[in-house]
């Protein structure tokens, strides 16, 4: 399974008797959701997750500057980056995956993004600028900023936070191959995106990606063992680091076209065979298995001699996901949403749909055989559309799971900044425990976090619009990142 984020927040252990299921009369869901509007908002969401000194063109104006001294405890500048979800920690492992997927979204679908393309590029650069800082010292990769246990024991705005902003790093002596390789993948993917418009920045990104990948590969080990007490159980690596090494090499192959990376991928897809085959249907911040094969399929579809094992693995992924496939292993809600138990299920339908849509575009007229079923490009696109449409409101409760999209959407998302009055409205500091009444309140959030996609309904399509239900009501950057690409495609193909 994709390792899902765990949130051992003491505040969330408060026994709450109320369950808030919205009683709003269901709005009629249009046959064709406004994909263009959803795309704009899905990118805008990232501005609400920014950490650091906000730029003059910041559009999410209820957010202000925060965490302006990050890295000071280690004598480095780590101001910037993104908060991963509804808390105030910078977890670099999921932040890097978010960046990789934003870059892949732009690389694949930039021609249909229109005026949103510039904002998508800015969202990527906000992250890559930060990762250049986090990898500026050779053989050191900064992997997290903030004490998660302390942070999760508070409910306060990022602008007010007074919990320890401890900096954690992986090194040659205490390695973290998964976080380092994912950062390398993010930098390499972003270098592809920036190459046409800013070749100097692109070169800086790819050179740093090469350096960080070499560090990740040379000093192999999991950050669970190096800084585990601070990253676990929030973003433990549950699937090993071999997939991240292959993922990074695949992105460096795309960015550089150097044979050494193709040789690395070919050799290690065999060396890591048991690890890869155990997760062929998995894709997310902790599991890159399916993504590796879909990404590499672009290189091998025109060269049958290089097809094995990448195309068979990618086809196995397809057959494990599609509901009509006799070998499908994925669960669905009665309303048709991909469902995997754990925190923030919505990461699964967005990430898996992105891969299927991308693979569909690569395969063109090729047919995939799933048992006695022939799978075509159109079937993969139709599946991806069904998941996007469910998220945007075509579901049993006629609710959009994107904040600010449609007539009916979550009002009480599990997000500190959105649930507390902004500094504009309440300039006084709101301390660690002073925010608890806002957390427990049944009132809608005072700040509209436009574009935030929450964790979503349970296996029965039931959704509790409650801050207390973090698994359902908390947004995350790695949910929106692949959704950006999906929405850009369906905007042009409504």
Active site residues: 414
Backbone angles phi, psi at 169, to 5 degrees: -130, 155
101: CB partners within 8 A, 6+ apart: 351, 354, 478, 481, 482, 484, 485
Residue with structure tokens 């997760």?
Answer: 279
Closest by CA to 231, choosing from 134, 166, 279, 282, is 166
Task: Yes or no: say if 461 and 337 are a contact pair by the CB < 8 Å rule.
Answer: yes
The CA distance from 360 to 375, in Å, is 10
Closest by CA to 227, choosing from 108, 92, 134, is 92
Q: CA-CA distances (angstroms) from residue 297 to 192, 196, 360, 394?
A: 17, 23, 11, 32
Coil vs helix vs strand at 344:
coil
State yes or no: cis peptide before 29, omega within 30 of 0: no
263: CB partners within 8 A, 6+ apart: none
Helix locations, 49-140, DSSP H: 92-109, 116-134
The Cα angle at residue 33 between residues 31 and 34, in degrees rounded to 5: 140
The CA distance from 464 to 22, in Å, is 8
Burial of 328-351, coded b for 16+ CB within 10 Å and e otherwise, reads bebeebeebbbbbebbbbbbbbbb
């Amino acid at each position: 399974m994709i390792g899902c984020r765990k949130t051992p927040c003491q505040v969330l252990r408060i026994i709450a008797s109320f369950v808030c299921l919205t009683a709003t009369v269901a709005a009629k869901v249009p046959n064709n959701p406004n994909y263009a509007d959803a795309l704009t908002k899905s990118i805008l969401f990232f501005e609400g997750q920014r950490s650091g000194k906000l730029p003059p063109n910041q559009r999410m104006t209820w957010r202000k500057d925060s965490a302006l001294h990050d890295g000071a405890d280690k004598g480095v500048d780590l101001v910037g980056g993104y908060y991963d979800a509804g808390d105030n920690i910078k977890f670099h492992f999921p932040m890097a995956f978010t960046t990789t997927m934003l870059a892949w979204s732009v690389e694949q679908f930039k021609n249909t993004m229109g005026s949103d393309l510039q904002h998508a590029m800015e969202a990527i650069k906000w992250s890559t600028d930060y990762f250049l800082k986090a990898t500026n010292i050779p053989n050191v990769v900064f992997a997290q900023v903030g004490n998660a246990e302390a942070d999760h024991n508070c409910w306060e705005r990022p602008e007010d936070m007074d919990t320890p902003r401890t900096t954690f790093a992986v090194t040659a002596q205490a390695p973290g191959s998964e976080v380092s390789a994912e950062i390398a993948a993010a930098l390499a993917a972003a270098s592809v995106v920036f190459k046409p418009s800013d070749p100097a920045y692109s070169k800086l990104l790819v050179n740093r990606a090469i350096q960080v990948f070499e560090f990740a590969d040379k000093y192999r080990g999991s950050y669970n063992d190096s800084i585990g007490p601070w990253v676990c159980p929030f973003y433990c690596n549950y699937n090993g680091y071999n997939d991240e090494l292959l993922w990074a090499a695949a992105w460096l192959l795309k960015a550089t076209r150097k044979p050494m990376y193709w040789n690395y991928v070919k050799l290690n897809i065999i060396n890591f065979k048991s690890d890869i085959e155990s997760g062929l249907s998995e894709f997310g911040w902790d599991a890159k298995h399916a993504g590796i094969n879909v990404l590499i399929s672009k290189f091998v579809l025109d060269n049958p001699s290089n097809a094995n094992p990448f195309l068979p693995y990618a086809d196995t992924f397809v057959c494990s996901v599609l509901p009509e496939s006799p070998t499908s292993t994925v669960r669905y809600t009665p309303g048709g949403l991909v469902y995997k138990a754990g925190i923030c299920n919505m990461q699964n339908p967005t990430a898996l749909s992105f891969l299927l849509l991308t693979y569909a575009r690569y395969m063109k007229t090729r047919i995939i055989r799933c048992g006695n079923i022939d799978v075509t490009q159109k079937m993969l696109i139709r599946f991806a559309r069904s998941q996007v449409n469910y998220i945007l409101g075509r579901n049993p409760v006629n609710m959009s799971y994107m904040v600010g999209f449609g007539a009916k959407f979550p009002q009480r998302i599990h997000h500190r900044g959105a649930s507390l009055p902004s500094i504009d409205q309440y300039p006084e500091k709101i301390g660690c425990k002073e925010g608890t009444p806002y957390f427990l309140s049944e009132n809608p959030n005072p700040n509209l976090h436009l574009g935030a996609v929450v964790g979503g309904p349970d296996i029965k399509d039931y959704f509790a619009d409650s801050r207390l239900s973090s698994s359902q009501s908390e947004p995350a950057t790695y949910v929106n990142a692949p959704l950006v690409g999906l929405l850009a495609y369906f905007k042009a193909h409504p």
